[in-house]
Amino acid sequence: MSIEPEMKSWERLLELAEASDSGDLESYLSSLDPNEAVRAILRLDPEHQEKVLTRLTPANAADLIEDIPDEQAADIMEYLKPKDAAEIVTEMQSDEQADLIADLDDEDAEAILEKMAPDEADEARQLASYADDVAGGLMVTEYFRFEESVTVGDAVDEIQSLADNIDEYVSRYAYVVSNWGRLVGVIEVSELVNFSRDIPLANVMVPSLFAQAKAPLDDLKNFFENRSFSAVPVVDRHGRLLGIVRRSAVQNALAKRAEQEMLRMHGIVGGDEIRTLPMFTRSRRRLSWLSVNIVLNIAAASVIALHIETLGAVIALAVFLPIISDMSGCSGNQAVAVSMRELSLGIVKPSEIFRVWLKEISVGAVNGVVLGILLGVVAWAWKGNPYLGLVVGSALALNTLIAVSIGGVVPLMLKRFGVDPAVASGPILTTVTDICGFFLVLTFAATLLTKLVP
């Protein structure tokens, strides 16, 4: 008796999309874990992705699109007809709309926006105009907003009228504005029931803290770290209320930034990479870093080529070259990590290069001496030649000083000149420590060659 293999989630998704009853598709998708739903839709080709999304209600399709990584979501939406895409975008939260519109090609974005209601399209354009790491790019426009002349009773009635869609709103606070739209105060929604219905909101509100629309992500992080608020209102330079940034949005943005920095430090540049991206796109992004790296490695190898006779005479040096290079690189990477963290926290400025170097050189001196002695003793014990230990130990100690100096100051220098330190620090550090390590070992060995050769 044969047992048929279980159908994969993406196969089942496609089967249901091609069936006549879209309700079964909706039910199956809701039964999947969100991660599995994303995995399933991304395993389909664009034509089948379109079939699935257009069989779903726009609201459910929007929920699915919001869970997909931004770049891949944009690719899917560009494949849809503008009318179908517009219906889905309309159902998305305002911040998700802005992120998606910003990731689309200009032509595709405008085609979708033209199919949306004019006021919604204008709002999406405005939000998409902000960078994704400032308050304006993180804010949502689903929140409770009332003019100061509105009474408590009218505010409560309006909030209650939105009960069916209450989950879409940042519902803990109600923000109060002047007739000109300027933010003048805030009150917790739960407090409204404590006041008489005929009292104007202006009489019960309290002054509100706020963030400027161009406030950077780190400023928002500091704001929420020091306060228990779940959201902060965002205003323009005239004090007009534009939207709300939620604490969760800042946390998500910080996590996304950390992921992108990790990818860049490992040579994945040009965007988030997942394996459903086209092969040539993934290859191009990786080669942009690898092609530079191979040139840098050739430069390091040329140092060995210039000292090939020394290396041939003392073949034991070949064992210690990668050790010195790797250990120095590890020390340098520790310094890079600390500098990157201090830059992100704002506790060091790009102009403080000399101060950072002094801090690193002191640690590097101690660690270099300790590591150099350890490696020198190993080399001496292995070959019974103290001069071999002196060569490799001294080279490691000095190269550690060089590595921590580079690792500490290069991120600051790159930041000062507008270059992303997460991308460039690693290759620079690796190349220089390799070149200097090889040069120090082989130069010291050439100087003491008569002591090293039996």
CATH number of the domain that residue 395 is part of: 1.10.357.20
Q: What percent of the chain has pLDDT over 90?
A: 28
* Low-confidence winner among 225-229, 339-343, 356-360 (lowest mean pLDDT): 339-343
What angle do helix axes 46-55 and 58-67 make, rounded to 10 degrees?
130
Same-domain check for residues 76 and 118 = yes
Structure tokens at 452: 């090293």
Same-domain check for residues 113 and 261 = no
CATH number of the domain where residue 161 is located: 3.10.580.10
Q: What is the H or E stretch that residue 186 is in?
A: strand 183-188
**Within-domain flag for 274:** no
What angle do helix axes 106-114 and 118-128 make, rounded to 10 degrees?
150
**Within-domain flag for 379:** yes
Mean pLDDT confidence for 294-307: 73
**Within-domain flag for 3:** no
Same-domain check for residues 412 and 353 = yes
Mean pLDDT of all residues belonging to the chain: 84
Mean pLDDT confidence for 431-454: 86
The answer to whether residue 446 scores a pLDDT higher than 80 is yes
Which of 291, 127, 295, 277 is CA-nearest to residue 213?
127
Please tell me whether residue 242 adopts helix, strand or coil conformation.
Answer: strand
Structure tokens at 341: 């963290």
Is pTM, for the whole model, over 0.85?
Answer: no
Q: Using pLDDT thresholds of 50, 70 and 90, give the confidence band for residue 24.
A: confident
Q: What percent of the chain has pLDDT over 70?
A: 87
Same-domain check for residues 78 and 50 = yes
Q: Using pLDDT thresholds of 50, 70 and 90, give the confidence band for residue 142.
A: confident
What is the rounded CA–CA span in Å between residue 146 and residue 202?
10
pLDDT of res. 147: 92
The answer to whether residue 2 scores a pLDDT higher than 70 is no
* Residue 360 near residue 429 (C-beta atoms within 8 A): no
Contacts of 336 (CB under 8 A, 6+ apart): 407, 408, 410, 411, 421, 425, 426, 429
What is the rounded CA–CA span in Å between residue 111 and residue 291?
38
How far from 27 is each of 22, 57, 63, 88, 409, CA to CA, in Å? 9, 12, 14, 19, 56
* Residue 194 near residue 164 (C-beta atoms within 8 A): no
Same-domain check for residues 379 and 294 = yes
Mean pLDDT confidence for 95-99: 86
Q: What is the H or E stretch that residue 367 is in?
A: helix 353-383
The count of domains in the chain is 3
Same-domain check for residues 62 and 95 = yes
Owner of token pair 């891949």: 72
pLDDT of res. 378: 92
- What residues pair up with 206 in beta bridges, in sequence order? 186
Same-domain check for residues 121 and 200 = no
pLDDT digits (tens, 9 = 90+) for 208-266: 999 999 999 989 999 999 888 889 999 999 999 999 999 988 998 888 877 777 666 65
The answer to whether residue 337 scores a pLDDT higher than 60 is yes
Q: Looking at 11-163, which runs of residues are DSSP E strands? A: 143-147
Phi and psi angles of residue 273, each rounded to the nearest 5 degrees, phi first: -110, 130
The answer to whether residue 93 scores a pLDDT higher than 70 is yes
Q: Using pLDDT thresholds of 50, 70 and 90, give the confidence band for residue 391.
A: very high
Same-domain check for residues 296 and 152 = no
The answer to whether residue 184 scores a pLDDT higher than 90 is yes
Q: Using pLDDT thresholds of 50, 70 and 90, give the confidence band for residue 186.
A: very high
* Residue 153 near residue 198 (C-beta atoms within 8 A): yes
- The amino acid at residue 307 is H
* Residue 428 near residue 402 (C-beta atoms within 8 A): no
Helices and strands in the chain: count of H runs, count of E runs: 21, 6
CATH number of the domain where residue 61 is located: 1.25.60.10
Which of 433, 425, 264, 251 is CA-nearest to residue 339?
425
pLDDT of res. 367: 92
pLDDT of res. 18: 83
* Residue 354 near residue 412 (C-beta atoms within 8 A): no
Q: Using pLDDT thresholds of 50, 70 and 90, give the confidence band for residue 96.
A: confident
What is the rounded CA–CA span in Å between residue 371 and residue 80?
60
Same-domain check for residues 296 and 233 = no
The answer to whether residue 394 scores a pLDDT higher than 90 is yes
Mean pLDDT confidence for 286-307: 70
Most confident of 165-174, 200-209, 263-272: 200-209
Same-domain check for residues 153 and 247 = yes
pLDDT of res. 239: 93
Mean pLDDT confidence for 144-173: 82
**Within-domain flag for 4:** no
Mean pLDDT confidence for 31-54: 87
Phi and psi angles of residue 21, each rounded to the nearest 5 degrees, phi first: -95, 105
**Within-domain flag for 270:** no
pLDDT of res. 1: 40
**Within-domain flag for 98:** yes
pLDDT of res. 304: 74
pLDDT digits (tens, 9 = 90+) for 361-375: 999 999 999 999 999
Torsion, Cα 435 440 442 443, to 10 degrees, reads 120
Structure tokens at 9: 């989630």
Same-domain check for residues 375 and 235 = no
**Within-domain flag for 246:** yes
The answer to whether residue 434 scores a pLDDT higher than 60 is yes
Structure tokens at 428: 């620079």
Among 265, 288, 318, give the residue marking a domain's end: 265
Which of 102, 41, 114, 43 is CA-nearest to residue 74?
102
- What residues pair up with 259 in beta bridges, in sequence order? none
* Residue 213 near residue 127 (C-beta atoms within 8 A): no
What is the rounded CA–CA span in Å between residue 89 and residue 83?
10
Same-domain check for residues 108 and 243 = no
**Within-domain flag for 51:** yes
pLDDT of res. 182: 94
pLDDT of res. 290: 63
Mean pLDDT confidence for 8-29: 82
Q: Which has more pLDDT, 327 or 430?
A: 327
pLDDT of res. 4: 44
pLDDT of res. 167: 61
The answer to whether residue 270 scores a pLDDT higher than 60 is no
Write out the residue range of the structural domain in which residue 120 sits: 9-129
What is the rounded CA–CA span in Å between residue 17 and residue 33?
18
